[in-house]
Amino acid sequence: MSLTSEPVNGLTTSTAFSEMKTVRSIGELHAVLKELNDNNVRIGFVPTMGALHSGHATLIRTSAAENTLTVVSIFVNPTQFNVQSDFDKYPRTLDEDLSIAELNGANIVLVPTADEMYPKDFRTFIEPGGTADPMEGQCRPGHFRGVATIVVKLLNIVSPDVAYFGKKDFQQLAVIKETVNQLNMKVEITGVDTVREKDGLALSSRNVRLSDGAREQAPVIYRALQRVRQRFLDGERNRSSLEDIAREELATSPLCQVEYATICDASTLQISEVVSDTSVLCIAAWFDDVRLIDNIELQAFTGER
């Protein structure tokens, strides 16, 4: 197995292997990585739960453009689901996922088994810091404990230079940054802008479960995010007033049941009465039995695709 490298913009990009490798155990992954035997390899890593869509594809393409080797993992992590039926209903489309990963530049896809990730009697969990407390932390107790645990395990297994996460899961990105920082891990964490449908709905593996009616109404979330951002840019700085605007917009959809519409600081995720340039509005809402989340940074130009 050889790694063909050519320097581009000071980075060595690669065609890595002639074809993508799918590995199903940690030992196999380590054997493949060892065979490369090249210290100049810069590894980019994209952890996913599969059911890949254009959002995941963008993460993979970003990694492929910035690194010599891109590793993608596909693992539906049982410890981050606080409701068993949500785990059971999670879409699983491995064959299609492997094609999408390959088409977008993945070199290795790790598909570990649950037994290997969580051997019997496993109990070494990561308890994340304060970023995990509000919003998702309140609505989905234990969710971020499962996320932080699996992400740290995967980062230890893959040992990437950089790992890519979507801003679509804004709080998750903040929790991972805080976890990696507090555990003194060397990996760089990069956030990638949210990829949306034409009507603004953020791509999500859960969207396929929306009924036709719910799918039609779900873009109300993006309209609410944009309306609040506009009011912020127009000068409004009162948190409750801005959150009320979000709720008012969401209420225009009869199917939408709001779980939260909260403005907080983009790094700490703590809530303060005064909204600032570093604030982010996060929304979680149900459409029938499908729960969607989305967010918008109020000041930053995100250049979202």
Residues with a known catalytic role: 56
Please report, for residues 3, 29, 67, the alpha-carbon distance to residue 38 in angstroms, rounded to integers and kept in the order given. Answer: 8, 15, 13
Which of 56, 215 has the CB closer to ligand AMP?
Answer: 56
User: For residue 4, with 0-12 CB atoms within 10 Å meaning exposed, 13-18 middle and 19 or more buried, which class applies?
Assistant: exposed
List the alpha helices (DSSP H) in the chain: 26-36, 54-66, 84-89, 94-103, 114-117, 136-139, 143-158, 170-182, 212-217, 220-233, 239-250
In the complex with ligand AMP, which residue's Cβ is closer, 179 or 194? 194
Output the CA angle 131-269-202, nearest 5 degrees.
Answer: 100
DSSP state of 202: B
User: Smaller CB distance to ligand AMP: residue 202 or 224?
Assistant: 202
Q: Which of 174, 202, 225, 284 binds ligand AMP (CB under 6 A)?
A: 202
| Between 170 and 243, CB nearer to ligand AMP | 170
Amino acid sitting at position 248: E
Segment interacting with ligand AMP, rule: CB under 6 A, options 17-25, 162-170, 180-188, 278-286: 162-170
Q: Which residue number, 112 or 166, has a Cβ lying nearer to ligand AMP?
A: 166
| Residue nearest ligand AMP, Cβ-based | 166
Q: Which of residues 45-64 bind ligand AMP (CB under 6 A)?
A: 48-49, 55-56, 58-59
**Residues in Cβ contact with 174 at an 8 Å cutoff, skipping those fewer than 6 apart:** 131, 266, 267, 268, 269
Residue 146 sits in the site that holds ligand AMP (CB under 6 A): no
The rounded distance, in Å, linking the Cα atoms of 162 and 92 is 26
CB-count exposure of residue 82 (10 Å: 0-12, 13-18, 19+): middle
Binding to ligand AMP by residue 280, rule CB under 6 A? no
Q: Which of 13, 73, 149, 205 binds ligand AMP (CB under 6 A)?
A: 205
Among 64, 195, 221, 266, binds ligand AMP (CB under 6 A): 195
Token readout for 173 is 């990105």
- Which one of 81-89, 149-157, 166-174, 239-247 is the stretch in contact with ligand AMP (CB under 6 A)? 166-174
Choosing from 44, 128, 146, 166, the residue that interacts with ligand AMP (CB under 6 A) is 166
Closest CB 290 distance from ligand AMP, rounded Å: 14
* Residue of 192, 269, 293, 298 that binds ligand AMP (CB under 6 A): 192
Which residues make up the interface to ligand AMP (CB under 6 A)? 48-49, 55-56, 58-59, 165-166, 168-169, 192, 194-195, 202-205
